[in-house]
Amino acid sequence: MAQARRPFFCGNWKLNGSIAESVALATDVRNGVATVRDADVAVAPSFTALHAVAKRLEDGPVSVAAQDCFWEEKGAFTGEVSPGQLADAGCKSVILGHSERRQLLGELDAAVNLKARAALKAGLTPIICVGETLAERDAGETLGRILAQLDAALADMSEAELGRIVIAYEPVWAIGTGRNATPAQAQEVHRFIRTRVASRSAAVAAKVRILYGGSVKPDNIRALMAEEDVDGGLVGGASLSADSFVRIVKEGASV
């Protein structure tokens, strides 16, 4: 990565961990990255652990992300959590449009857009996920799928709002499979995403951080980060061990 953009690594803990386990893991991550000066680091626990983890991490440098939010601030929406509530719990960012939500829970592009705009209003950084399935890649539809997801997610955002988002490219076939995209495959899509953002604002495109996600490990992050448009990682399985996540941050930040 050209040092134009500060690397960002976010651990996505998915549906894992009690409050005590989450606080312990967060503490180990914080201690492990204490000497890392040249990257931003976040962890995304389950809703139930957000506040306790945020309290533990309040002195920095690791910030807290949620894994989803709703698009309304309050009202009769049983089971939902608003961006303002997440900010109140200590979150700085929120992962949106993860492929597991799209595939298993029927989340639509339009919902990702509503959530992202609501998150921005509440002062959160949306980490917007896009990615193609294996069938779409095999059918030559990768870039078309990314384009559709991206355009829908970023619709009706002002240039100032666009300037506050993070995008994550996560090929669905690489998530939790142990099969990461090659650096060249990642770079092709990351460049495509940046070019698309540039059609809205060249200034935002130059600084928007585009993370790669999908079987990121300590031994593949360097090659991915060496690509010009890869600015960090959204890490699932390997972020559940403080040791491997800290190694990913250190390896990735030093490229």
One DSSP character per residue, 201-247 reads -HHHHHH-EEEEESS--TTTHHHHHTSTT--EEEESGGGSSHHHHHH
List helix spans (H) across 3-162: 19-32, 47-56, 83-89, 99-104, 109-121, 134-138, 142-154, 159-162
Opening angle at CA 102, ends 7 and 78, nearest 5: 105
The CA distance from 93 to 119, in Å, is 8
Q: Which of 107, 132, 136, 170 is catalytic?
A: 170
| Residue 22 sits in the site that holds ligand PGA (CB under 6 A) | no
Report the nearest approach of ligand PGA to the CB of residue 100 (Å): 7
Instruction: Indicate whether 176 belongs to the interface with ligand PGA (CB under 6 A).
Output: yes
170: contact with ligand PGA by CB under 6 A: yes
* Interstrand relation of 232-235 and 40-44 (parallel, antiparallel or unpaired): unpaired
Smallest gap from residue 244 Cβ to ligand PGA (A):
10
Any catalytic annotation for residue 170?
yes
State in angstroms the smallest separation of the CB of 232 from ligand PGA.
Answer: 12
- The number of angstroms, rounded, from the C-alpha of 242 to the middle of its chain's C-alpha atoms is 18
Among the listed ranges 26-34, 65-73, 137-145, 211-219, the one in contact with ligand PGA (CB under 6 A) is 211-219
The answer to whether 21 and 45 are in contact (CB under 8 A) is no
Q: Which of 17, 45, 126, 213 binds ligand PGA (CB under 6 A)?
A: 213
Q: Whose structure tokens read 């997440």?
A: 86
Of 17, 45, 90, 236, the one binding ligand PGA by CB under 6 A: 236
Q: In the complex with ligand PGA, which residue's Cβ is closer, 9 or 70?
A: 9
How many Å apart are CA 54 and CA 187, to the nearest integer? 33
**Contacting residue, 64, 205, 234, 248, with ligand PGA by CB under 6 A:** 234
User: Does residue 144 interact with ligand PGA by CB under 6 A?
Assistant: no
Between residues 83 and 233, which has the closer beta carbon with respect to ligand PGA?
233
119: number of Cβ within 10 Å: 30
Nearer to ligand PGA, 39 or 205 (CB): 39
Binding site for ligand PGA (CB under 6 A): 12, 170, 175-176, 213-216, 234-238
Q: Report, as residue numbers or ranges, the catalytic residues.
A: 98, 170
